[in-house]
Structure 1
């Protein structure tokens, strides 16, 4: 942004506040991911937020009144608005561990000697269960009903379920509920990425609490969430939240967010037409598909199924004819005009996926045209793979990785066969396999390790000469449910230098 734009009057400067900052907005074909700014607030929500911003209220009084209205709209016994669904995970856990006992609340997350175990099915683990662990809990994984029974022989604070994976789990809610009731253990379901329903399918099957995002399909404020369920637990969760001076004081929900979520709920339950929404989404996908009628390319609609309520268009092509990988196409559209965001996690070597939920009027045709142009563009001349250099990196190396702040030393042991590199690495609290390749363009290595429900990953890209390596590093993580290049680069860049210290 230049000085002249900053000198412009605020009304002019904010005509498009993103462009004023040098940030290009995009057409969203990647659903409602937080990294892509969720969804767009409904007009009714924007109006309610603007109105709420004009007066002062006491937040406890506001939440009490909002909780009654949330209960009326959702059919849940009680509900609160949180600053996102991850915050709802933390608040629900704090309610189960500390209640509204200030002696415990003000000691969080130091829970030694308390009941602080949380049971989760192992295939329900995901990145956001850190919001549960940050309260000072320890997650106990189960895979079978026998595992559940064994875990319940010791005190348990809470049982946590990932809603999108419950139906396919070997341990269903119907297995968990009677056992939890026998021990007085609350059950929490994370349904943040699902469509909210009345009556709630999880509460009606015996769960005590359930979480939904306010800024995804509900189209409320992006930084909002909903925690619904048993009144005493939900009220205890609120007492652990801002404005109260407890563990979650930093998880502040504004008066505008509270009113915005209520407006979104009212539209959802009182005005929304799901059949009309589905017709609109299918129409948009048909517009896009009509632009892709060319040899070597096909488009197929993936109908909604299970908890997924939005259809998708899967675009598949013959790589030999088109000459593009899915990731290359995705990045090409992101760099284009208009800028288009596709879901990296659904991208394969020869396909991309289009989610129509975020499309605005007229955008489907723009997406279809951009896709057709990218797929029809002459492919870059195929080049021969880089030749393997006459260099063997097998051996022991000390690698210094530099972060924005601080460094970490890794000891790596590499084995090379032709251009394939394998081995292992170790450092303080991080050790695991090394995979990679080497050719005339340089060396690429991946360090990875699973920690709790998440895989930590470094991607190293550099050069080798005279017993030394150096280059750049990309830091990220992913779970079994969230795999893709965006997550694997989410923690930013760094640098590395390495020295060979011994033979293999």
Structure 2
């Protein structure tokens, strides 16, 4: 089906990344979705029945299914801001006049997914210590958002946050998107008011679904903020098929043979590991993550790149672009190269394909790696006005660069940031890299282009944000140096 529209499928050795499809839905999920498709139901009645059923299964007070974990986070945030008042609901994200319009987030919990909180229009208040949280809490505080699995070594654990927040009646939303579901729920027991999970990760439910478990009153207001109700959550529509498919995934979770699944994953890794045994300098190891997040074993295959003449990043790039395409992790450094395999989403027979592909590329005869750089035929030192062409807009950036042989460093001024930039010139080819960071977000700018004299053109790779093109013109040098007289005292005229 994918190939019929020109898309080459991918063998997934990375795990439950959304950008390659998350997890594979279980048979029970597909059956429930197909059955749901043939009938109609009133959504409020369905939400009430599903909420009770999730409570019965998980031991939480109530449950809710949303169109993904991020949607659940957004809708819980709305509920904390509106308190279930529809007059407030239809005003979001304009929170003018709202008595609750702040969300506290510990600094170590900032991440790209807290955009779901920010989408509501709240003011984010960052804290790093218990004392700062106590000082930050005020009548405008609507909620505390945190990410589980990160705070064990932090001064602000979930338990500590609950100790501070509970006397003030402030709800805590625990984002556990990629974790295994625990019953009884460890985060609710530790003091979270609501905990959210992705449907398309460990639960192997619909990729476009997620669940929220916890306080019934808060989740009742959360459902009001969710589709099909008109308001700021209407754009996060979830179908009856996904709702019942997600419920089926939770029901299956409590009957799945988790130990058997783990053993089958280890067997797949053993197949791959055995195939690369005996290759010069190759070693293998299997490790398992601690905690509940992205819980699956992982095989790491290491080798000496000076002997096999290929790096881990080169292997991963080759696998990503040539069929059969394989998404695989990689790492290089300290004189070694490696790739790693997470088996949780490998389908029957995939391990054989992966094993043969790794064996073939590591045993292929090739020339030694050459780290020598071609001589630079361009000197890009100076100030450059850079026009960036996005899909539907143009931005003006600026580089201020200095060059030492092949190596380039300097400053990159974007629309909203001034950041460091560095790269290399080989021949008339220029490659520059900078990274724009702000709490919760990260954008790479990877410039690749060529030119002559005072002009450069090329492409910008923006990571998950796709690509853009650029054209750059070097600006004429400023005025020449001159003598400067420093006065010996205050001016006598102005």
Q: Do both proteins adopt the same fold according to a TM-score greater than 0.5, normalized to the shorter chain? A: yes
Paired with 2:367 and 2:69, the residues of 1 have a C-alpha distance of: 44
Give how far 1:33 is off. Answer: 0.7
- List per-residue Cα deviations over 1:385-409 (Å, max 9, x = no partner): 2333253222111110001111000
Say whether 1:443 aligns with 2:404. no
Find the residue that maps to 1:166 and give its secondary structure: coil
Say whether 1:192 aligns with 2:166. no
> Equivalent residues in 2 for 1:51-130 (5 A)?
51-114=35-98, 115-130=100-115
**Alignment partner of 1:237 out of 222, 230, 236:** 222
8 Å contact kept, 1:89–1:131: yes
Give how far 1:324 is off. Answer: 1.4
Say whether 1:387 aligns with 2:374. yes
Say whether 1:327 aligns with 2:313. yes
Find the residue that maps to 2:306 and give its secondary structure: helix
Paired with 2:360 and 2:134, the residues of 1 have a C-alpha distance of: 57
> Equivalent residues in 2 for 1:376-415 (5 A)?
376-380=363-367, 382-383=369-370, 385-415=372-402
For this pair of structures, how many residues does the alignment match?
472
Say whether 1:491 aligns with 2:491. no
Structure 2 match to 1:284: 268
Structure 1 match to 2:120: 135
8 Å contact kept, 1:333–1:341: yes
Paired with 2:265 and 2:428, the residues of 1 have a C-alpha distance of: 44
Paired with 2:203 and 2:326, the residues of 1 have a C-alpha distance of: 23
Paired with 2:324 and 2:455, the residues of 1 have a C-alpha distance of: 44
8 Å contact kept, 2:373–2:406: no
Q: Where in structure 2 are there 5+ consecutive unaligned residues?
A: 479-494
Structure 2 match to 1:462: 449
> Equivalent residues in 2 for 1:208-227 (5 A)?
208-227=193-212
Find the residue that maps to 1:348 and give its secondary structure: strand
Give how far 1:146 is off. Answer: 2.0
Q: Which range is displaced more, 139-148 or 315-324?
A: 139-148
Paired with 1:391 and 1:48, the residues of 2 have a C-alpha distance of: 62
Cα RMSD over matched residues?
1.7
Find the residue that maps to 1:463 and give its secondary structure: strand
Find the residue that maps to 1:423 and give its secondary structure: strand
TM-score, normalised to structure 2, is: 0.92
Give how far 1:338 is off. Answer: 3.1
Task: Label 1:113 to 1:413 Cα distance change in 2 as closer, same or farther (>3 A).
Answer: farther
- List per-residue Cα deviations over 1:137-174 (Å, max 9, x = no partner): 12222222222222225631111111121223221112
**Alignment partner of 1:341 out of 327, 334, 338:** 327
Paired with 1:142 and 1:88, the residues of 2 have a C-alpha distance of: 23
Q: Where in structure 1 are there 5+ consecutive unaligned residues?
A: 1-16, 476-488
- List per-residue Cα deviations over 1:340-378 (Å, max 9, x = no partner): 2213xx543511110010112222222111111111112
Task: Label 1:335 to 1:497 Cα distance change in 2 as closer, same or farther (>3 A).
Answer: closer
Paired with 1:347 and 1:33, the residues of 2 have a C-alpha distance of: 18
Q: Which range is displaced more, 444-453 or 378-387?
A: 378-387
Structure 1 match to 2:29: 45
Task: Label 1:132 to 1:288 Cα distance change in 2 as closer, same or farther (>3 A).
Answer: same
- List per-residue Cα deviations over 1:215-260 (Å, max 9, x = no partner): 1111111111001110111111111111000101010111001110
Find the residue that maps to 1:164 and give its secondary structure: coil
8 Å contact kept, 1:333–1:374: no
Structure 2 match to 1:256: 241
8 Å contact kept, 1:462–1:469: yes
